[in-house]
Structures are given as structure tokens and as C-alpha cells.
Amino acid sequence: MKLRLIAASLPLLLSAFASANAQTADDLIAKNLAARGGADKLAAIHVIVTKGELRFPGDFKLAYKETRERLDPANYAVRVDAALQGLTLVQAYDGKDGWRINPFEGRKDAEHMGADETRELADEGSIDGALLAAHVKGSQVDYLGREDIDGTEAYKLRVTQTDGTVFTYYLDPDAYLEIRILERRTIRGAEKETETDLGDYEQVSGVYFPFSLASGPKDSADSDKQVITISSAEANTQIAPTLFAMPAAPPK
């Protein structure tokens, strides 16, 4: 009799468990949004320009500048400039197409980026981030419980985008800010997993942004990661209308 009662109650228990998980995901998203600064302050940032240093393994350092612009609630433009000894690597996305200039590979003219690299750069350009932009992009968010991240029992949320790209967010249990993001996507037919540790949060126009980002392949050693250290950031500055546009090819 007890077994029959348990069996009869199982669908209701599973349904309640699924609802609790969905509610937990929504609750954590709300807490993350509040921790960042709130919806109004975040939406008020249309442009953010950060400057600092990009350090590659081996202590190879470049001056770093990144400009992001909110084009509409679901789309952004972004441009990254990394300079060393008079040479500047440029990667940009104008809201539709991606392009690059890489003088370190002997290329002085702009060239189009592939579709996979363009989507990757477009995601990087989000001011809100994949988690907080999930509702406008139609992404699925699932709560996966808690996981130890360097001694912190972080909340774990999976964001699955419509193109199959998956972001796993790890939120600090006290501050509710992201401390790690694991990104899994397909680049030219091969799966790529990138792990980024975030820290040193500072406010920019009332919104918290990480000023330290260390990224590399999943489970890579700290010494093998590239590190972006932000020294200054400014919101809603004037930018050139053509900043994100791909330069025309020089006449032959």
C-alpha cells in the first residue's frame, strides 16, 4: 500500500521539484541583476569603454581597449584594440558582420571573420552578459545546483542559446556576482570550451563590471591563461559613428 502511494505521488513530487528548480533559476537571475546594479541602471548604459592591459602566457603584454555599444535590447556592437610597439590588432562586430585586422600575422588590411568567430565576438560584446540577456534572446536557463569553485560553493546556472552555444555561470553565494563562466561553442566544426575567471568588480555608472578576467581552455593552469586587467572604464561616452564599421579596402 505504501509503495502504491509513493508511486502515485511520484509525478506530483517530480513536478514540484521541476517547478522549484525553475523558480530557483529565476530567483538567482534576479539576485544577479540586483547585485550588478539593477535593471534600470544596467539598461541606462548604452556604451562602455574599458582600457587596460592584455597579458598572454609568457608575460607578453599589450595595451588593451574595448568598446561596446547597445544597439537594441538583443544586439550589440563591439570593438577590441590590442596594441604593441606601434602595431594594433583589431577585432570588431558591427551588429551584423565581424572583421579583423591582424598586423602580427602580416595583414594590414581588414578581413571578414567567419560566421562562428563572428558569433563568438558578438556574445563577447554583450553589456548585460549571456545570463541577463537570456530572456530577450530566447535562451534557456537551468539551475544545476552548487559546485565548489576554489573553495567557494557557487551557484551553477546553465544558459543554452538558440544556436546551441552553452554558457555555465558560477555565482558567488554571498555577492551573487559571477566568479567563473564556462563557454562551450562550435568553431569550424570543432567543440571549443573556454573557462573565464572574473573578479575585482568595480562600479561604472552604478553597475558592477569585472576588472580582472583570466581565460583559457577548460581546466587550464593559471599560468596558461590570458589575463585582461582593466585600469579605467567609462560609460555612455561619445564614440565615432564609424568605429565598428569595417574599413574599405585600399585601391589596388
**What local confidence, expressed as pLDDT, does residue 129 receive?**
97
Compare 15 and 183 and report the one with higher pLDDT. Answer: 183
Contact of 212 with 34, CB cutoff 8 Å: no
CA distance 195 to 185: 12
pLDDT in tens, 59-75: 889 999 999 999 998 99
Of all residues in the chain, the percent with pLDDT exceeding 70 is 90
Whole-number Å distance between alpha carbons of 191 and 106: 28
What's this model's pTM, rounded to 2 decimal places?
0.88
User: Can you read off the three cell numbers belonging to residue 37?
Assistant: 546594479
- List residues bridging with 72 in a β-sheet: 75
Looking at residue 59, what is its pLDDT? 87
Instruction: Give the model's pLDDT for residue 49.
Output: 98
Q: Answer whether residue 9 shows pLDDT above 70.
A: no
Q: In this predicted model, what pLDDT tens digit does every residue of 137-185 receive, in sequence order?
A: 999 999 999 999 999 999 999 999 999 999 999 999 999 999 999 999 9
The answer to whether residue 4 scores a pLDDT higher than 70 is: no
Cell of 134: 537570456
Q: What is the pLDDT of residue 106?
A: 86
Residues 6+ apart with CB under 8 A from 162: 137, 138, 139
Tell me the per-residue pLDDT of 41-65, one tens digit each, with 9 for 90 and over: 999 999 999 999 999 998 889 999 9
**Are the C-beta atoms of residues 45 and 207 closer than 8 Å to each other?**
yes
The rounded mean pLDDT for the chain is 91
- Residue 6 has what pLDDT? 40
Q: Which residue has the cell 555608472?
A: 205
Residue 96: in which H helix or E strand, if any? none
Residue 26: pLDDT band by 50, 70, 90 thresholds?
Answer: very high
Percent of the chain at pLDDT exceeding 90? 83
> Which pLDDT does position 2 carry in this prediction?
38
End-to-end Cα separation, the chain, in angstroms? 87
**Structure confidence at residue 23 (pLDDT):** 52
pLDDT greater than 50 at residue 12: no
